[in-house]
Each structure stands twice: as structure tokens, then as C-alpha cells.
């Protein structure tokens, strides 16, 4: 594998209005790590998702969707005693999306160290984890630690997207757990607040800071680089950060210099926000140049 990602993927429902009023909704899947996996596959890399789903129809939707996108699902565990998690997206106003989780006791929250080690079979150049998985419980935290230990011992790269979720745990608790992981990561990715949460200046690997409308920057041992964001009409901002991460890690796997890694990340993020859904708008390698074409261009 070029990359293995570890975490929970849920069935997602997106409403066209307030949930309390009823109405229609669309069904898909969502998960920070699986969004990165899909993004990497579309950009030409071999990626595997390691996780648990329930032995239920939402679980089958998760596996079927990832498999259809070319993600390796050979390490997926189907749990007969726990359901697949559910995430609800509510467009409360044109500019505000509210996210509701139903993941307590889910199959994903039962991910174990044994699951993680088994999922690494065959090896990988890169392991990608987020700060979401350790917040799901002792088992998922052990899974992340075991995977990081195994990949580091084998000489692989480890990337950590801090992805702090305040609904799952406090900043103090997240800092206590994630800082040791960040210190062992080859690449740490996050917003300015998230980077500070895990140690900031103490980090010795690559530190990639997502700056939203101001683009992104990376600090390596050789210097600091930055890239502006693309000015596009955003349809759905959810998933932009994970899309950026997929683009940046793709550039890392392709051995691009830091500035070009950042540029690929901001490009994939710009594609993502122009479509509804976490991962649906992610580009392929061949589509990356399309963002630079003049408005109204028709390709024939």
C-alpha cells in the first residue's frame, strides 16, 4: 500500500432543511480518514481503509462505497453486535451547517489494536491517522498507538491530522493524548489552534497549518513555505480540510517539494467545496489543471 488510513466511517444523511420539520435527505458515507483514502486513490495512489462497521445495511453502504472508489477494504471488520455509526448534516442557514452524531456504542468505537495490526498486513509507505479516532474510546486509542508503533518500526511515514472534535472531548484531554502521538509523527496537520494543542514549536516533523481562506503553510527542517487558497464559489465547506490533507499527502507520496505539496492540497480542497458531500467533489490527477481554466470553459 502507498497509504493506510485508520478510523471510523459512518453512514451520512444530509437534509435540505431543519431535521425537526421533516423532509427529504440524501444518503452517503462520511469519515475524515476515508475521505483522505478516497482522495488519495483518485490521485493515483493505492490506499486501504482499516475500520469496523456493523453487520448491517449502513455498514454495507460504507464498504460498497469505498470499494467502488477503489479503496482497499480487505481489512474491514464487520461487527455483529454493534451498529454502524450515523452522522446527520443539517444546512441550518445558507452559510451554517450543523452536524449531529449518533456514534456512541458504534462498531467503529470498538476498533482494537489487533484490528489495526492485522490491517497493516503487507506494509505501507504511509499511515494516516486523526485525532478523532483516539477520542472514541480506549480501544480506538490503543489501535492508533499500535499502528503508529508498527509503521514507525518498519520505517514508514506517519501523518496525524489533529482534527480536534470538541463534542468528543475537551481540549485539555485531547492535548494530553495527542501530543505524544504528534511528537512521533512524520507530518502533523491542523489549524493554528490544533497545532498549538499538540505542541506547536516542540514538533520536530513537518508541521502543516491549514489557514482556511488564507491557504496553508508548512514548516520543515529546511524552511517554511506557504500557498494561497483558491477563490471559488463554495457549495459545501464540510470536508475541505480532509480534502486538503489528501492532496498534501499525495504530493508527499509523489515526492513533490513542499510548495508543490501545499499547492496540490489547496487545489483538492477547492474542488471539494464546490460539490455537496465530504468526498464527492475530490479530483483525479487528470482533473487538477481544470481549476486554472477560465470561467465558462467547455472541454470538448
Which residues make Cβ contacts (< 8 Å) with residue 292, sequence separation at least 6? none
**156: in domain:** yes
Query: Is 105 part of any domain?
Result: no
Active site residue 242: yes
Phi–psi pair at 153, nearest 5 degrees: -65, -30
Work out whether the CA dihedral 173, 100, 90, 37 comes out positive or negative: positive
CATH number at residue 129: 3.40.1190.20
Helix, strand, coil in percent for the chain, rounding step 5:
40, 25, 35
Pairing of strands 52-54, 77-79: parallel
201 or 218: which carries more pLDDT confidence? 218
Summarised one tens digit per residue, pLDDT across range 100-150 is: 999 999 999 999 999 999 999 999 999 999 999 999 999 999 999 999 999
**pTM of the complete model:** 0.94
Q: Give pLDDT, residue 276.
A: 86
In a domain, residue 59? The reply is yes
In a domain, residue 290? The reply is: no
Q: Is 39 within the bounds of a domain?
A: yes
Q: How many domains does the chain have?
A: 1
Domain membership flag for residue 150: yes
Asked whether the beta carbons of 174 and 191 are under 8 A apart, the reply is no
Burial of residue 189 (CB within 10 Å: 0-12, 13-18, 19+) is buried
The catalytic residue among 2, 242, 254, 278 is 242
Whole-number Å distance between alpha carbons of 285 and 69: 14
Q: What is the pLDDT of residues 243-281, one digit of tens each?
A: 999 999 999 999 999 999 999 999 999 999 888 888 999
Q: Considering the domain boundaries, does residue 217 fall inside one?
A: yes
Residue 116 lies in a domain: yes
How far, in Å, CA of 91 to CA of 19, rounded? Answer: 9
In the chain, the percentage of residues whose pLDDT exceeds 90 is 81
Q: Report yes or no: 147 and 120 within 8 Å, Cβ to Cβ.
A: yes
For residue 175, the enclosing domain spans 3-8+32-74+111-280
Amino acid at each position: 500500500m502507498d497509504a493506510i488510513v485508520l478510523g471510523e466511517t459512518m453512514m451520512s444523511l444530509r437534509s435540505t432543511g431543519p431535521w425537526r420539520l421533516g423532509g427529504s435527505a440524501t444518503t452517503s458515507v462520511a469519515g475524515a480518514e476515508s475521505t483522505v483514502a478516497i482522495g488519495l486513490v483518485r490521485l493515483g495512489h493505492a490506499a486501504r481503509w482499516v475500520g469496523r462497521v456493523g453487520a448491517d445495511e449502513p455498514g454495507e453502504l460504507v464498504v460498497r462505497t469505498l470499494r467502488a472508489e477503489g479503496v482497499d477494504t480487505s481489512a474491514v471488520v464487520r461487527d455483529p453486535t454493534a451498529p454502524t455509526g450515523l452522522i446527520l448534516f443539517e444546512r441550518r442557514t445558507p452559510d451554517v451547517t450543523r452536524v449531529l452524531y449518533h456514534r456512541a456504542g458504534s462498531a467503529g468505537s470498538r476498533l482494537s489494536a489487533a484490528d489495526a495490526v492485522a490491517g497493516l498486513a503487507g506494509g505501507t509507505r504511509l499511515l494516516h491517522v486523526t485525532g478523532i479516532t483516539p477520542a472514541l474510546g480506549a480501544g480506538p486509542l490503543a489501535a492508533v498507538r499500535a499502528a503508529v508503533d508498527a509503521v514507525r518500526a518498519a520505517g514508514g511515514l506517519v501523518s496525524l491530522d489533529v482534527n480536534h472534535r470538541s463534542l468528543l472531548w475537551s481540549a485539555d484531554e485531547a492535548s494530553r493524548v495527542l501530543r505524544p502521538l504528534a511528537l512521533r509523527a512524520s507530518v502533523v496537520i491542523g489549524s493554528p489552534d490544533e497545532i498549538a494543542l499538540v505542541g506547536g514549536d516542540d514538533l520536530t516533523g513537518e508541521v502543516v497549518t491549514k489557514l482556511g481562506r488564507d491557504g496553508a503553510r508548512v514548516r520543515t527542517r529546511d524552511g517554511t513555505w506557504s500557498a494561497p487558497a483558491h477563490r471559488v464559489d463554495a457549495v459545501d465547506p464540510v470536508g475541505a480540510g480532509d480534502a486538503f490533507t489528501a492532496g498534501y499527502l499525495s504530493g508527499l507520496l509523489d515526492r513533490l517539494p513542499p510548495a508543490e505539496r501545499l499547492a496540490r492540497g489547496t487545489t483538492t480542497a477547492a474542488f471539494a467545496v464546490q460539490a455537496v458531500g465530504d468526498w464527492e467533489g475530490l479530483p483525479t490527477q487528470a482533473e487538477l489543471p481544470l481549476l486554472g481554466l477560465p470561467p465558462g470553459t467547455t472541454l470538448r
